[in-house]
């Protein structure tokens, strides 16, 4: 997966459930779900997956989120 950073505001942050880990995950309105960690004293982002919000086009009020990349 690509490395990088978010291009839009971050909406959610979750710490890695492993108590010994200092890594965390973020999701942004740019569609990126990122895993963050320290690499050689530098904070690095690895894009875990890309999400895309699909608007309802048939008027039945359904909205779906598609995974673009894993």
CA 44 to chain centre: 13
The answer to whether 45 and 34 are in contact (CB under 8 A) is yes
Edge-first strand listing for the sheet containing 42-54? 10-15, 24-28, 32-39, 42-54, 64-69
Task: Judge whether residue 65 has pLDDT over 80.
Answer: no
pLDDT 10s digits, 2-25: 556 888 899 999 998 887 778 999
The residue extents of the domains of the chain are 10-69
For all residues of the chain together, what is the average pLDDT?
A: 78
pLDDT mean over 27-50: 88
DSSP 3-state assignment of 39? strand
Q: How far apart, in Å, do the first and last CA atoms of the chain sit? A: 7
């Amino acid at each position: 997966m690509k490395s990088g950073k978010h291009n839009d505001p971050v909406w959610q942050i979750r710490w890695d459930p492993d108590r010994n880990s200092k890594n965390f995950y973020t999701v942004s309105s740019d569609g990126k779900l990122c895993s963050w960690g320290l690499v050689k004293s530098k904070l690095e982002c690895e894009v875990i997956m890309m999400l895309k919000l699909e608007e309802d086009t048939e008027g039945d009020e359904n909205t779906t989120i598609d995974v673009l990349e894993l």
